[in-house]
Amino acid sequence: MLDIVATRQTSDIDPIETSEWRDALLSLVQTAGIERAAYVLEALLAQAAALGVRAGGQTRSAYLNTIAARNEPPFPGDLAVEERIASINRWNALAMVVRANQAHGELGGHIASYASAADLFEVGFNHFFRAPCEGFAGDLVYLQPHSAPGVYARAFLEGFLSEDDLAHFRQEITARERGLRGLSSYPHPWLMPDFWQFPTGSMGIGPINAIYQARFMRYLEHRSLAQPSGRKVWGLFGDGEMDEPESIAALTLAAREKLDNLVFVVNCNLQRLDGPVRGNGRIIDELETLYAGAGWNVIKLVWGGDWDALLARDTDGALARAFAHTVDGQFQTFAANDGAYNRAHFFNQNPELAALVADWSDEAIDRLRRGGHDIVKIHAAYHRAVRHRGQPTVILAQTKKGFGMGTAGQGKMTTHQQKKLDDEALLAFRDRFALPISDADCLALKFYKPAQDSAELRYLQSRRAVLGGHLPRRRTESPRLPVPATEQWARFALQADGKEMSSTMAIVRMLGGLLKDDQLGSRIVPIVADEARTFGMANLFRQIGIYSAQGQLYEPEDIGSVLYYREALDGQILEEGITEAGAISSWTAAGTSYSVNGLPMLPFYIYYSMFGFQRIGDLIWAAADQRARGFLIGATSGRTTLGGEGLQHQDGSSHLIASTVPNCRAYDPAYAYEVAVILEHGMKRMLDEQCDEFYYVTVTNENLAQPNLPGDSAREGILRGMHRVRTAMPRDELATGSEPDRSAAADSATAQSNVDNDEPPHVRLLAAGPMLNEALRAAERLHQDFGIAAEVWSVTSFSELARDGRACERDRVLGLNRPSAQSWLEQCLPGTVPVVAASDYVRAVPDQIRAWIKAPYRTLGTDGFGRSDTRARLRDFFEVSADWIALHALDLLAEQDSRHDAARQQLRDQLNTTRRTVVPWLS
């Protein structure tokens, strides 16, 4: 080993030797090519590292194009026609936004983003973005949301959208009333299910979702569920969006799994909403360092072909030095000004630069394009990206925000908010892009579409035909999957016979049974974020394996164990590590596979419930927009049920947030048989009936004696939101905690049939999840100590009950006279018998159903911060235990009849209520 001096040389002590090394590298490039030169350099760097020589970790190259002009492939298209098509799309996109805002100034919209990205989009649509066709599932394309008008404009030329459709941009309700298709503001599959594939409107979600979609495509191939076909995932995003943590959270995953099926194109127009992305720096340099450091192949597309002649003449490197000392804020100023300004402030900063353009007019300088506006150079970058192997690729394309908008918007600080242009600006835009539109039509903002037999439309259609058809398009149906009978995978839960287990243990056992099904098993995708052992899933490690793109290159420490950590190329579990954002992105990829891959899958993402809707709610909302199908399993749930973990882990709000997602069916079951009924129903809805909905099911780690399913008649109540588990019966009938063969759903023809029993109730107790056993104990105490007959209901879903109530209420108000005139709540809880509802979540969860309970109604919940202690202590602290439920029942009864005052006071004294002066949610 050589003794290497650690200090770095800061001056050149032998310029001649340095020049010889440079000449050797230049000769290698000229004789053997860039690829060979890169290989030799990498070999030298590896040898230097072995010798202990550090080269400074260079991940930033000159502010020039990665692909030199001499290395560009021949352009295969008709450049003139493609430029005309791009210009037409620019105009129609602009006209769409301006027309909408002239009619209704509140509608908003964006012109400048697509103006900067148009050529990046067009090269993709004309040469690279492949549509689904026979035997090929198609590329996946994530599109920059603010550029949606440009995508609509192209769909108009393709014939998929009409002029009337464009005229109803951001007027979806108005369009529907007129029998037309309204165009959503951004990509939203929920609103345009046959058009948009991926919702990208919330910044940062597109990049992380795109990475996990590319990874899921490989997962399907490695598990032999899909054949390798060379499909690509494209993501067209903005430079400002890269500041979102989700945008960069999974870059290293893409690199370490060698996702060369993934290409990002970052539109570096240098501006965000308020100002420069990096006014005092250069975002392209920063992103190059970031992506290269993460292991991506980086292609810089900075300057258009107009600069090639100047760079060729610049033998002294004056341009490269000037670029290196110009920050983005100044580049933006150059973009906002004309050729004369750029000559004076950029080229005239030194004699060398001035000489380069001495024979150029100001107009010629003004026409100098940035790389993202040069179709030929964009094609060269895309061409190299799709052929690169072993790494994902990112193309950093410099553009001008508001390109072509002239003094009205190009490079202006306010260009993102630009929604209207005056007459002069409209005419200038038309002239800038040489559009064959009369002054009158221009000022009237008429959409322009060439004749069907024009060169432009014939070319456009022919290019899309070569690439498989129109894009974007979304598949809405897929093959149905049969759902195995519940008895095959959940018999233990339906006939539990009082065995103790937690609902988490029950659902993991059900999952294990489903995985063994011959038809459905291979389509199940278990997903965890480093908590499989916590949830008792370690047995699945050996049974089905953990997916790894590299297989298992090591001998695991626990290989002698029955439950050893087994990674495999064809593994089924997606073990994502400590990244809920990554895990939910995998769940989204699996949950939308029926559409994007034509292959229905059934994902189960099991996680700490606190780290779901609260932590990654925006990603779940996007999955809902994307019409994902699958199960989210909120394990270790409940603020008082997850005992010792404390404030950050104890979930008391997820069901409240879940209730706001329209196509999320949220359940908080108490018993294993309820879990089984819910899973069976969800699978049938999603896999057989192909309903675009998903299920959120919370389960706990509290071991309880599990009763049997009280007969098939209970199923309806379980699914609709509540079923009765205890009638107002004598104490000797309370043993099982369930009502054999009887439930609220046994006969719902009349309200009376739901309460028929030997003794009418004095009070009704409603409870969800882990609170059900507290309610049963409260009912027993009320009966035993105070002679109060209490009826107990298991509420599996407050949100489903509330939705049903709202629907029935709306039907009555609108006079629709549908069969379900009464809500399930009204059928189950008639009359004025007082009701107490308890939840392990905040009171707002049971408060959702207040409007449809005609009796006095009291809710108990776990409002406030969680803390560490035993379940009994926590439930007493939050005042949701059996004693507190009983006290509130007595309080409601005392308000109706003073004869209950003494019983209420007795229980107050036992609970020492006078000392509890601070409310739990403030302590």
Annotated binding site for Mg(2+): 239, 269, 271
Peptide bond into 472 cis (omega under 30): yes
Question: Which residue, 74, 68, 58, is CA-closest to 29?
Answer: 68
Residues at the binding site are 239, 269, 271
Phi, then psi, of 530 in degrees rounded to 5? 65, 35
Q: Measured between alpha carbons, how far is 376 from 307 in angstroms, rounded to an integer?
A: 13
Neighbouring-strand partners of residue 140: 233
Q: Give, in order, the Cα–Cα distances in Å from 104 to each of 167, 168, 419, 856.
A: 12, 11, 11, 47
Q: Measured between alpha carbons, how far is 832 from 855 in angstroms, rounded to an integer?
A: 4
Q: Measured between alpha carbons, how far is 193 from 180 in angstroms, rounded to an integer?
A: 15
Alpha-carbon 45 to chain mean position? 40
Residue 871: count of CB within 10 angstroms of its CB: 19
Alpha helices in 569-702 (DSSP H): 580-591, 593-596, 613-625, 654-658, 672-683
Task: Label residues 765-804 b or e (16+ Cβ within 10 Å = b).
Answer: bbbbbbbbbbbbbbbbbbbeebebbbbbbbbbbbbbbbbb
What's the token pair of residue 216?
Answer: 């899921």
| Type of residue found at 39 | Y
Q: For residue 63, give the 3-state DSSP assignment.
A: coil
Q: Measured between alpha carbons, how far is 406 from 112 in angstroms, rounded to an integer?
A: 11
Alpha-carbon 325 to chain mean position? 39
DSSP letter string over 693-722? Answer: -EEEEE--S--EEPPPP--TTHHHHHHHTE
Are the CB atoms for 636 and 664 separated by under 8 Å?
no
Which secondary structure element, helix H or strand E, spans residue 501, and what is its range?
strand 500-501
Q: Measured between alpha carbons, how far is 835 from 561 in angstroms, rounded to an integer?
A: 52
